[in-house]
Amino acid sequence: MTNQLTIADQTFSSRLIVGSARFPDPETMRKALRASGAEVVTVAIRRANLAGDSGEDILSYIEDDDYFLLPNTAGCYTAKEAVTTAHLAREVLGTNWVKLEVIGDDDTLFPDVPELLKAAEQLLLDDFVVLPYANDDPITCRKLADMGCAAVMPLGAPIGSGMGIRNPYNLRIIREQVEVPVIVDAGVGTASDAAIAMELGMDAVLMNSAISQAKHPVKMAEAMKKGIEGGRLAFEAGRMPRRLYAEASSPMEGRIEVGGTEE
């Protein structure tokens, strides 16, 4: 194992990817991003100020700190919308990387799998590095990896729910069945959730609301950084086997005999 995360042709020291939305204010966002130690920051292109006018531009706060920008297609409900948004991001930001989101409805924010697969196929043909947000479904993730996506990003729980890792078994299957990085995206609520994801063998965790909606976003960002690091280290160390019954930590051999038989 290595402490570095490699996706396509890029290598990063941090395994935490952070979104830039829903912070109380841009300065809190900036401080939280710095506290997180993240190198990759996602930007929702449909919500970003790309016009360069005199209004407050979130992108300027991010670009000043030289993060690797990962535009996403949040808010897209069809393959056509997502592909168009990705092309806009490439033109404006000069990157062919995209976090691909194609949402099915407003209530669950679950991916629309047929539209997601259609958009991924088209973007790969258009020479994008595609990181798709997907259900925690091994079949879908395997299809996305097999078609050439640089990573797969199964959800841990619904977007913004903070419910944590609800289906660790599927995530483990996905990790075993695909050869590209597996990044848990959505559902993380606190540092222990991030640690669990890493202990399962995930390559990274992407989060936004867990930090931006915390009472103290900067403190939570630091907690997430430590949770990711601790979880990854625990995974590399290899946990002890689970046992149904107790097993003494001290050896049974060579014990001192206390007392004896009376004559």
| Residues paired with 22 in a beta bridge | none
pLDDT-derived band of residue 67, with 50, 70 and 90 as boundaries?
Answer: very high
Average pLDDT value for residue range 37-61: 71
- C-alpha Rg value of the chain to the nearest Å: 22
Catalytic hit among 31, 80, 99, 219: 99
Comparing 57 with 79, the larger pLDDT belongs to: 79
Whether residue 99 lies in the annotated active site:
yes
Q: Which of 96, 156, 159 is nearest to 131 (CA)?
A: 96
What is the per-residue pLDDT for 53? Answer: 44
Is the pLDDT confidence value at 5 over 70?
A: yes
Q: Contact at 8 Å (CB) between 71 and 95?
A: yes
In the sheet that holds 129-134, the strands lie side by side as 153-154, 129-134, 97-100, 68-72, 40-44, 16-19, 204-207, 183-185
Mean pLDDT lowest among 33-37, 193-197, 245-249: 245-249
Is the pLDDT confidence value at 4 over 80?
A: yes
Per-domain residue ranges for the chain?
Answer: 5-237
Angle between helices 79-93 and 113-125 (to 10 degrees): 40
What is the per-residue pLDDT for 216? Answer: 98
Mean pLDDT lowest among 26-30, 46-50, 184-188: 46-50
Helix (H) or strand (E) holding 16: strand 16-19
CATH class of 5-237: alpha beta
The pTM for the full model equals 0.90
What is the per-residue pLDDT for 51? Answer: 47
- State the binding site: 160, 186-187, 208-209
What is the per-residue pLDDT for 54? Answer: 39
User: In this predicted model, what pLDDT tens digit does every residue of 91-134 receive, in sequence order?
Assistant: 989 999 999 999 999 999 999 999 999 999 999 999 999 999 99
Residue 111: CB partners within 8 Å, gap ≥ 6?
101, 102, 103, 104, 132, 133, 134, 135
Write out the two tokens for 100.
């691909």
- State the binding site for 1-deoxy-D-xylulose 5-phosphate: 160, 186-187, 208-209
